[in-house]
Amino acid sequence: MVNASFITGLSYLGKTEDPLDSDNFSVDLNGLRAKEALAIRQAEADAERMGVGVTAEAQSIFDALSKTLPVQWENSDILVMKEVRVRSPYLSDCVFGGTDAANNRVKKVLELERRRLQLFGT
């Protein structure tokens, strides 16, 4: 706010362009559609990463595995590299299928994530 008693003079500088004038806007509809399609694909990918009817601990283990290995949910099982299956309660003893090397890698990540969950209580 300005105190009117401090105003000593006014001068008209002319009319300026209205920055909100709708005639000056151009919308790239193709760009917007591409952004929308990308957002939809991202939302679908995020939804696929969420396990249905699984515990927070199971989701945390899935997320840890997904950082280094391709994973997907198959009901309540975690399918790693489309060959290694991790069943509830998601312990090292619950790893089936796959080669020995693949199983050992999954078991190692499981053990590390379980240790992290115990340390931080999440």
Sheet holding 84-86, edge to edge: 71-74, 77-80, 84-86, 95-96
Domain parsing of the chain, residue ranges: 29-120
**Tens of pLDDT along 27-84?**
889 999 999 999 999 999 888 888 888 888 899 999 988 988 999 999 999 999 999 9
Report CA-CA distances (Å) from 80 to 70, 71, 77, 93: 6, 4, 10, 15
Local structure of residue 51 (DSSP, 8 states): P
Report CA-CA distances (Å) from 79 to 62, 65, 100, 110, 119: 9, 10, 15, 13, 26
**Tens of pLDDT along 4-42?**
888 888 888 888 887 777 777 778 899 999 999 999 999
Residue 122 is inside which H or E element, if any?
none
